[in-house]
């Protein structure tokens, strides 16, 4: 099977994660997919295959050379985003894309257009895998899984390519920030690894956001509105006051590159109780800490006006892996050179998000992120160029070759 055939097979599995179940994996579809992959790896003859009760699948492509070289790993995640359904995905290949609109669903008038997504123009003449507009596609991160397995298969078919031990792993629940929580770094046994979980072709990432989630609760007092003067405290109105106290330009829709933000992700309320959920993001650790303090400060301001009304809970999620990668920058150098060997122009960019690699780096496994090739993740307009998946597969092979040549 080539990388495209594998990918089209993998997206059939419904593997949305769900942060509300408090299980690992958070949904049964992820374990079903992991078991399917386990059988594939067994048929390929890989060694040290393990699938634990939490859905972490690991395997080894054994070395075929006598000299000792570092063990390198490649990792991708099993789950797709909870933001949109990943059930009954109906992928379609648009061959030799002409640069115009792509009608995903004529009946529902869902169109993938370069007017809205100008990056499509970069892929004119290539073959795009798209959705039917009713689900996400799942390139995040089933493209990464397909690329890793296809690269391993290629190495098996070409024993003339000498390599050391190559470890691979597929984990659950990355999309809900828990992918690395139960990842056994010692059992994995690699000196360093790469997550195949980036976006467009050429992306190489070793900087990501510092991240936290904040929940601000406002407690009101309900009284019949006809007799409410000086008695009612409408928690929704107070919550709205809190929202507009934050700087309006420091939101996702107004920031880029290294700019951080506050992002209101959920609001649920009534007169008596309203809860706001924010995610806080910044690449710079000091600014990140100041953002958390600003939310606490605004909570105190609300309580000065409405005593005892507001409370806040802030929980850190992950940190910028840069501080863990910089001492071992040879892992970035290898990836950059491997991309060039594979005919890909490397683009070192910061991740405006998170990755399992960040948490794994802080657990002792340096783990930068390499492109998997997809675009417009987490929604109906997601697509992946086949040529980008093929390039990512070549990059994996070239990394393995460069590690063996050290």
Active site residues: 79, 174
DSSP letter (8 states) at residue 336: H
Give the up-direction half-sphere exposure of residue 229: CA atoms within 13 A in the CB hemisphere.
1
Closest CA to 64 of 160, 178, 204, 168: 160
Nearest-10 crossing angle of helices 386-404, 330-341: 120
Q: Which residue has the tokens 């928690």?
A: 235
Q: Is the peptide bond before 258 cis (omega within 30 degrees of 0)?
A: no
CA–CA gap between residue 282 and residue 293 (Å, rounded): 13
Q: Give the containing element (helix H, strand E) for 158.
A: none
Sign of the C-alpha dihedral computed for residues 250, 251, 255 and 256 taken in this order: positive
CA–CA gap between residue 287 and residue 277 (Å, rounded): 20
Q: Which residues contact 230 (CB under 8 A, 6 or more apart)?
A: none
Phi, psi torsion values for 362, nearest 5 degrees:
-75, -15
CA–CA gap between residue 189 and residue 165 (Å, rounded): 10
Phi, psi torsion values for 173, nearest 5 degrees:
65, 30
Helices (H), 102-195: 139-157, 185-188
Give the up-direction half-sphere exposure of residue 171: CA atoms within 13 A in the CB hemisphere.
27
């Amino acid at each position: 099977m080539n990388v495209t055939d594998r990918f089209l097979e993998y997206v059939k599995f419904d593997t949305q994660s769900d942060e509300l179940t408090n299980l690992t994996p958070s949904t049964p579809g992820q374990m079903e997919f992991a078991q399917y992959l386990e059988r594939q790896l067994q048929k390929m003859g890989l060694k040290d295959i393990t699938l634990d009760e939490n859905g972490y699948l690991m395997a080894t492509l054994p070395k075929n050379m006598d000299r000792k070289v570092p063990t390198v790993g490649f990792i991708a995640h099993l789950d797709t985003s909870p933001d949109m359904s990943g059930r009954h995905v109906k992928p379609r290949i648009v061959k030799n894309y002409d640069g115009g609109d792509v009608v995903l669903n004529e009946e529902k008038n869902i169109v993938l257009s370069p007017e809205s997504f100008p990056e499509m123009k970069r892929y004119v003449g290539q073959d795009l895998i798209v959705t039917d507009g009713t689900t996400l596609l799942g390139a995040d991160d089933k493209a990464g899984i397909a690329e890793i397995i296809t690269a391993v298969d290629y190495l098996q078919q070409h024993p003339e390519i000498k390599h050391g031990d190559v470890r691979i792993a597929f984990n659950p629940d990355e999309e809900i920030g828990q992918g690395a929580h139960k990842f056994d770094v010692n059992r994995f046994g690699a000196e360093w690894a790469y997550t195949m979980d980036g976006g467009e072709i050429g992306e190489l990432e070793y900087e990501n956001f510092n991240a936290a989630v904040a929940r601000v609760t406002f407690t009101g007092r309900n009284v019949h509105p006809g007799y409410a003067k000086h008695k009612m405290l409408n928690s929704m109105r107070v919550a709205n006051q809190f929202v507009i106290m934050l700087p309006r330009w420091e939101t996702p829709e107004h920031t880029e590159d290294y700019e951080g933000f506050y992002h209101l992700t959920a609001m649920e309320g009534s007169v008596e109780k309203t809860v706001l959920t924010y995610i806080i993001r910044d690449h710079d650790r000091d600014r990140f800490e100041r953002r958390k303090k600003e939310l606490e400060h605004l909570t105190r301001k609300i309580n000065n006006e409405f005593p005892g009304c507001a409370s806040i809970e802030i929980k850190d999620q992950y940190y910028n892996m840069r501080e863990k990668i910089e001492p071992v920058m040879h892992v970035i150098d290898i990836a950059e050179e491997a991309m060039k060997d594979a005919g890909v122009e490397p683009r070192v960019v910061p991740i405006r998000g998170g990755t399992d690699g960040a948490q794994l780096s802080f657990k002792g496994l340096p783990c930068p992120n390499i492109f998997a090739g997809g675009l417009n993740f987490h929604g109906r307009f997601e697509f992946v160029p086949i040529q980008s998946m093929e390039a990512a597969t070549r990059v994996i092979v070239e990394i393995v070759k460069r590690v063996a040549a050290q």
